[in-house]
Amino acid sequence: MEDSGFTKADILYARNRNPFWKKKKMEGAEDRTRRRLDMHDYSRGTTVQWTSEKLQEFLDLNKKDSSGRYIHKDWELASHFDTSIPSIQYLRRKYLRVRELLGPRARKEKIVDYMGSSEIILMSGGPRKGK
């Protein structure tokens, strides 16, 4: 590196674009990802049906402390609801989207109703009753 004048950042930049090094870097990536996700999967092979009661319980547990951090970590909620961490992260994103749609003063019943909807429906503006 001293002879060429290249920095470590230059070499990493070049390696990430070179087909040989990209292929080398990606070898076994799928297995590593699968192992990482399986290690934190609390679902025990079952699918959770998110009923109104479970969504209500999720909202009760999905609180933040005074510093803005969640009181319960993702893995704690995943273990509690027997689901995966990505599922909990999905619900947290969905909750933020619902709060964005309904505003900060929305009633909890309305939030639970919207949380039961799919993301496609939420992106179109939310569920419409009677239509």
Counted domains in the chain: 2
Contact yes or no for 32/22 (Cβ under 8 A): no
Q: Are 117 and 83 part of one and the same domain?
A: yes
Query: pLDDT tens, 52-98?
Result: 999 999 999 999 999 999 999 998 998 899 888 888 999 999 999 89
Judge whether 46 lies within some domain. Answer: no
| Whole-model pTM over 0.75 | no
Assigned domain for 44 exists: no
Co-location of 59 and 112 in the same domain: yes
Q: Which residue has the higher pLDDT, 125 or 60?
A: 60
41 DSSP β-pair partners: 84
Structural domain that includes position 106: 52-123
